[in-house]
Amino acid sequence: MPIHLLWGDDEAARNRAVEALVQELVDPAWASITLSRLDGNDPNQAAQALEEARTPPFVGDARVVVLQRSPFCNQCPAELATRLEAGLGLIPPSCHLLLVSATKPDARLRTTKALKAVAKEQSFQLPAVWDGGGQVDLVARTARELGLTLEPAAAAALAEAIGSDSSRLASELEKLSLYCGAQSITAAAVAALIDSQATSSLAVGDALLAGQIATAIGLVDALLGANEPALRIVAALTSQLRGWLWVALLDQTGEQDVAVIAKAAGIGNPKRIYVMRKQIRGKAAGQLLELLGRLLEVEAALKRGAEPGNAFRDGFLLLGSRQTAAGRPLR
């Protein structure tokens, strides 16, 4: 009863894994009748996936049913849950049910427990934007999946340039493989082909914290020029600032336990607290609240339809004028 549970927010890696299984199991000559691709957002298609997975292939060695956005491990309707539990034992060995989802399975659901008992599970999670080591690992793992070799310095350079954008990473690795041929991908090749102006939302937050408004605007323009969604930039900056604010407020209360601070701030890795403390040294909680308020105004302007570059520029420049008026000159 081969059931495959594939989940995680790394969409590019998920899709590569799905297509690898399809190529391995499906005879191309019979793909039109032995391969089904369905959407779990539609309850009828989710139920259809269960029915097709119980039907042995008429031709070929295997039937593959791919259900994207599978609902079975997250907020599964009671009727679908009942159908799943009743049908799990009826799936023949020649049928493969691929349940694909961007979200982590909810371990509390009975459907999740039932699937985990029989399924082959694979997770594809992107590293956090602040996790430099995790981003280097993502580069190395993606290169291995694509059958490419690259030098450690090249992996670090790609992580710095691309971050956690796994779709762009795969595309850039393919270009680098053509550029380098049979040779390993080098840091020099990365420097030659990858845009040197690549940045991240974290760098924007660092510039705002340092009072470098012009730098922050330039970094935002670079992100928007690279087709980064404006609201995603706001979300990343807001998360970054909220973390700083929590650390600043808890430090003011005298709390020293990094595990307690990390839990209160919703930060998964307590070791990150040491870095954040260094970043906000000498900064008052009021300054962080002011930054957060300006970001909320930028978000509101974007949702009212403002041009993204203007929304960020107006918000950041107003922040700069307030800092100057308060006696904190721009740098």
Domain count, the chain: 3
Instruction: Tell me the pLDDT band of 198, cut-offs 50, 70 and 90.
Output: very low
Quote the tokens at residue 293. Answer: 């308020």
- Judge if 174 and 74 occupy the same domain: no
Q: Find how far residue 40's CA is from the centre of its chain.
A: 21
Instruction: Tell me what pLDDT residue 255 has.
Output: 82
Q: Give pLDDT tens digits for 86-136.
A: 988 899 999 999 999 999 999 999 999 999 999 999 999 888 766 778 888
Q: What is the CATH number of the domain that holds 283?
A: 1.20.272.10
**DSSP-derived secondary structure letter, 130:** T
What contacts 164, CB < 8 A, 6 or more positions away? 126, 127, 128, 129, 135, 138
Q: 193, 210, 233: which is the final residue of a domain?
A: 193
Domain co-membership, 159 together with 110: no
3-state DSSP assignment of residue 135: helix
The CATH number given to whatever domain includes residue 86 is 3.40.50.300
pLDDT higher at 258 or 107: 107
Q: Tell whether 58 and 98 lie within a shared domain.
A: yes
The whole domain housing 145 covers 132-193
Which of 14, 27, 127 has its CA nearest to residue 66?
Answer: 14
Residues 206 and 316 in one domain: yes
Place of tokens 């029989």: 118
How many Å apart are CA 121 and CA 248, to the nearest integer?
A: 40
Could you tell me the CATH number of the domain that includes residue 160? 1.10.8.60
- In the predicted model, is pLDDT for residue 310 greater than 60? yes
Question: Can you name the residues that pair with 67 across neighbouring β-strands?
Answer: 38, 99
**Which residues are registered as beta bridge partners of 121?**
5
Query: Are residues 226 and 181 part of one domain?
Result: no
Same domain, 109 and 218: no
In degrees to the nearest 10, what's the CA dihedral of 268, 271, 275, 277? 90
pLDDT of residue 331: 40
| 330 within some domain | no
The pLDDT of 304-311, averaged and rounded, is 92
pLDDT digits (tens, 9 = 90+) for 160-184: 778 777 888 888 999 999 999 889 9
pTM of the model: 0.63
Nearest-5° angle of CA 243, CA 249, CA 250? 90
Q: Report CA Rg, the chain.
A: 24
Query: Does residue 331 form part of some domain?
Result: no
Task: Output the six-digit token pair for 1.
Answer: 């009863």
Cα(157)–Cα(139) distance, integer angstroms: 10
Nearest to 7 by CA among 83, 74, 78: 74
> Are 206 and 320 contained in the same domain?
yes
Look at residues 102, 123, 144 and tell me which one is the last residue of a structural domain: 123
